[in-house]
């Protein structure tokens, strides 16, 4: 299973009921095709970095999902044809999470090596003091 983040920006004039209906449809699509929705985060209305079409603001929504990729293709298709969605982006994050875990493991093992180097420096200083 791969891990994905699907973020989309809706027009600020969208009715909350329509937005909730779209989110539930997307969740159903993912679940019907064998994926799982881990989390849905409604980030609310925010100012856009630049104007998109005629909008200065948008309603941000983030969906965390696990799946094979087939369900994400259908989710993206639905987002493209939905009128009130002005932008969407899907990012595969499982490789990034693996890289982060490797770096975390390296950091955990690095302090013990640094401590061993620190002890070696202390011993070298003790030898100098004896002369």
* Res. 121 pLDDT band, cuts 50 70 90: low
* Res. 111 pLDDT band, cuts 50 70 90: low
Instruction: Please give the average per-residue pLDDT across 68-88, as a whole number.
Output: 92
What are the structural domain ranges in the chain? Answer: 2-92, 102-131
**CATH number for region 2-92:** 3.30.70.60
Instruction: Please give the average per-residue pLDDT across 17-21, as a whole number.
Output: 94
- Interatomic CA distance for residues 81 and 105, integer angstroms: 43
What pLDDT, on the 0 to 100 scale, is given for residue 94?
81
Q: Provide the whole-model pTM.
A: 0.72
Task: Determine contact, residues 11/18, Cβ cutoff 8 Å.
Answer: no
Residue 7 half-sphere exposure, CB side, CA atoms within 13 Å? 9
10, pLDDT greater than 90: yes
- Interatomic CA distance for residues 62 and 41, integer angstroms: 5
44, pLDDT greater than 60: yes
């Amino acid at each position: 299973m791969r891990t994905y983040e699907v973020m989309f920006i809706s027009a600020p004039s969208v009715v909350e009921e329509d937005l909730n209906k779209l989110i539930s449809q997307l969740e159903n699509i993912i679940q019907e095709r064998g994926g799982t929705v881990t989390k849905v985060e409604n980030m609310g209305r925010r100012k856009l970095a630049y104007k998109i079409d005629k909008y200065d603001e948008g309603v941000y929504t983030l969906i965390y999902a696990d799946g094979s990729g087939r369900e994400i293709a259908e989710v993206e298709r639905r987002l493209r044809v939905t009128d009130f969605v002005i932008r969407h982006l899907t990012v595969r994050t499982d490789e990034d999470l693996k890289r982060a875990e490797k770096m975390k493991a390296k950091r955990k093992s690095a302090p013990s090596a640094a401590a061993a180097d620190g002890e070696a420096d202390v011993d070298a200083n003790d030898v100098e003091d004896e002369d």
